[in-house]
């Protein structure tokens, strides 16, 4: 709806731990009326249009999760190759390199799931289940990658000047928007027949 609609005002701006690039305000409606041309989609079809938009959104959040997990992986790999402890780069210790191996494998799987769901959508095939699989798997995988990326940075991982500390905060949002992880499990279990 247009922000200058009569009867609509923006209230308090919320201070968020993630998604700071996108402002979130309290919305106040007082006898608010919208002009006909503000109407989106078809009258009486709001719920099904909303569900269809959510399915697409879940694929998008899956893609965001894969991208953020990839950024976590790249930052952690670079740091692990540079940081020397006990006379060797920490990458030479399996406790570190196995974390990176798992991150790379799970990112590959998450990316494949997102691409499959997107392919089904692009080809007008049913994709509710695959969109939920992709969103749930990729967002939870992203949180594990972000946690491991901070862990690999050790104490520096807690410093705001290192991007992994920001990634760790952002990844939480991906498990909440477009349907929480719990709601994805409800969607999946209902689609199991
Ligand atoms: C800045 C911001 C932007 C957002 N943008 C979008 C967006 O663009 N699109 C979008 O779809 N969402 C978006 N969201 C998420 C959305 O607004 C809700 O926060 C989200 O759907 C969860 O609803 P809720 O906050 O009311 O939590 P609640 O429904 O109160 O849930 C609280 C907890 O209970 C769990 N829960 C609730 N019901 C059940 C159940 N039946 N079974 C098991 N567990 C349950 C939830 O999973 C969660 O863990 C955004 C949120 C924020 C903060």
CATH number of 46-190: 1.20.140.10
* Domain layout of the chain by residue ranges: 8-38, 46-190
Q: How confident is the model at residue 192 (pLDDT cuts 50, 70, 90)?
A: confident
Q: Measured in Å, how far apart are the chain's first and last C-alpha atoms?
A: 38
DSSP state of 25: E
pLDDT surpasses 80 at 193: no
Give 176 Cα–ligand 1 centroid separation in angstroms. 6
Q: What is the pLDDT of residues 40-55, one digit of tens each?
A: 899 999 999 999 899 9
Average pLDDT, the chain: 96
Between CA 22 and CA 3 the distance in angstroms is 15
182 Cα nearest atom in ligand 1: 47
Q: How confident is the model at residue 25 (pLDDT cuts 50, 70, 90)?
A: very high
Question: What does the pLDDT read at residue 92?
Answer: 98
Please answer whether residues 167 and 90 qualify as being in contact, where contact means their C-beta atoms are separated by less than 8 angstroms.
Answer: no
Question: What does the pLDDT read at residue 3?
Answer: 86
Q: Which of 12, 180, 189, 190 to mutate to test the pocket of ligand 1 (most atoms within 8 A of CB)?
A: 180
**Given phi > 0 = left and psi -120 to 50 = alpha, else beta, which region is 178?**
left
């Amino acid at each position: 709806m247009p922000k200058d609609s009569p009867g609509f005002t923006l209230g308090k701006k919320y201070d968020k731990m993630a998604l700071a690039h996108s402002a979130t305000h309290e919305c106040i409606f007082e006898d608010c009326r919208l002009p006909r041309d503000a109407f989106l989609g078809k009258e009486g079809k709001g719920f099904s249009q909303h569900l269809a938009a959510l399915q697409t959104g879940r694929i998008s959040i899956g893609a965001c999760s894969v991208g953020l997990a990839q950024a976590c992986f790249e930052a952690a790999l670079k740091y692990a190759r540079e940081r020397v402890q006990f006379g060797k780069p920490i990458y030479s210790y399996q406790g570190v390199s196995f974390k990176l191996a798992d991150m790379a494998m799970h990112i590959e799987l998450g990316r494949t799931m997102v691409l499959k769901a997107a392919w089904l959508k692009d080809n007008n095939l049913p994709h509710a289940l695959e969109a939920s699989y992709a969103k749930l798997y990729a967002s939870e995988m992203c949180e594990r990658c972000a946690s491991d990326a901070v862990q690999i940075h050790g104490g520096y991982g807690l410093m705001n000047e290192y991007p992994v500390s920001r990634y760790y905060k952002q990844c939480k949002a991906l498990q909440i928007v477009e349907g929480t992880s719990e709601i994805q499990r409800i969607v999946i279990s209902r689609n199991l027949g």
